[in-house]
Structure 1
Amino acid sequence: MIFRANALLLVLAAILPGPARAHEGHAHPPVPAQAVFPAERLSPPDLPVTDRFGTTKGFVSRYAEAPMLVVSFTYASCGTVCPLSNAVLAEVQDELTAAGARIVSLSIDPARDTPALMSVSAEQFGAGPSWEWVAGSVPDTRLLMTAFGVPVGPPEAHVPTILVGSLSSGEFTRVVGIPDPASLLAIAGAPAR
């Protein structure tokens, strides 16, 4: 079943009781309001990542030709902030794709996120061909997260982060918190609805 973003947001708002939610025995940090930071230069290494179809290729090699990337940091078993961020991406994926962007959901829990689990998540959110779900090895994922300026730690303690930019220029805008769909489209240069 494909989740529609607005319906999912309403359901999650109704069932998740407050800002700090329990997840696998850990309290998730409060979900911050969206904060957008000025563009920064980032240079991720070309470490191997495997997509939900089982194809492995270097991260940079895989996306070097993409005019724009929208990179999210997620994991399949997340029951708190990841579904919220993924719902927003699902809501705007057609506009982002039309603007030439590729959406990349990079697993921050590669020890558990198999291609099969990533496929389930991708299908739940109606990921089209321009929305890829990838995972690296545990050490490579840590290096990629560090290169992208995303704190490494327990997956359940992560703060939602999306980067919008280009590997060719190295310029990325950081969005921390649950992104506003209109704001995300504006950052990506996609036409407003």
Structure 2
Amino acid sequence: MSSLTRSPFAALALAACAMLGPVPSAARAADGPDPHAHCHDAMGALKRATRSTARYTLPPITLVRDDGKSVSLPAELDDGRPVVLNFVFTTCATICPVMSRTFAQLQERLGSERDRVHLVSISIDPEQDTPARLSEYARSFGAGPGWRFYTGTAEASVAAQRAFDVYRGDKMDHTPVAFLRAAPGRPWVRIDGFASPDELTSAVRELIAAR
């Protein structure tokens, strides 16, 4: 396992935890207390991001894309493009907005290569995250056509989380993790912690060059 450089985006998460600064409107809860009021993972977010490799078996589950279309998870991820994947939920007020901003900046840094990469964000709160809500959330972060958001049944969401070894039983206990894969059949690169847009861009370009 190799260590990546310390990301300034971890500090953003801690600041958001302390101040609960503004996030895109779609990322705010409509009612009730802020789901990250306790911010129990904020200090952990300051740890260095670490990179490892693993092989994951994709479960044969159906998810619903932000355009309302039901799709097979394996088919979506095995379309031949390099994949960058994370797990988020739209009412998250700290970790998820930081990860989503990082994906948005990754798109920008990829430039003309952005259409060659499939960015995937899977909701861990499918009861709240309808396709319409995910579509609004995607727009708030400037998601291009190569960055899609997915929801589905609670069972499907849990199965996806378990497949990537990120299921922790409660959405409040989630941690920042990103997954990258060059092509179907290749191992996944797993980045635990906050990787910066530059670090993700470098990792993606390595995958593209290795294809």
> TM-score if structure 2 supplies the norm length?
0.76
Q: What residue number does 2:102 align with?
A: 88
**Matched-pair contact (CA < 8 Å) for 2:17–2:37:** no
Secondary structure of the corresponding residue to residue 17 of structure 1: helix
Q: CA deviation at 1:28?
A: 3.1
Structure 1, unaligned stretches of length 5 or more? 1-7
Q: What residue number does 1:114 align with?
A: 130
Query: Kindly, what percent of the aligned residue pairs are identical?
Result: 24
- C-alpha distance in 2 between matches for 1:15 and 1:74: 16
Change in 2 beyond 3 A, CA 1:23/1:35: same
Q: What residue number does 2:40 align with?
A: 28
CA RMSD of aligned residues (A): 2.6
Change in 2 beyond 3 A, CA 1:27/1:92: closer
- C-alpha distance in 2 between matches for 1:114 and 1:160: 22
- C-alpha distance in 1 between matches for 2:69 and 2:170: 26
Q: CA deviation at 1:120?
A: 1.3
Q: CA deviation at 1:136?
A: 2.4
Q: CA deviation at 1:152?
A: 3.0
Structure 2, unaligned stretches of length 5 or more? 1-8, 20-33
- C-alpha distance in 1 between matches for 2:93 and 2:173: 12
Matches within 5 A, 1:133-148: 133-148=149-164
Alignment coverage as a number of residue pairs: 181
Matches within 5 A, 1:106-185: 106-166=122-182, 168-185=184-201
What amino acid sits opposite 2:35 in the alignment? H
Matched, 1:79 2:93: yes
Change in 2 beyond 3 A, CA 1:24/1:97: same
**Matched-pair contact (CA < 8 Å) for 1:96–1:188:** no
Q: Which structure carries more helix by proportion?
A: 2
Secondary structure of the corresponding residue to residue 52 of structure 2: coil
- C-alpha distance in 2 between matches for 1:162 and 1:46: 21
**Matched-pair contact (CA < 8 Å) for 2:65–2:131:** yes
Change in 2 beyond 3 A, CA 1:96/1:145: farther
Runs of 4+ in 1 over 4 A off after TM superposition: 8-15
- C-alpha distance in 2 between matches for 1:9 and 1:27: 13
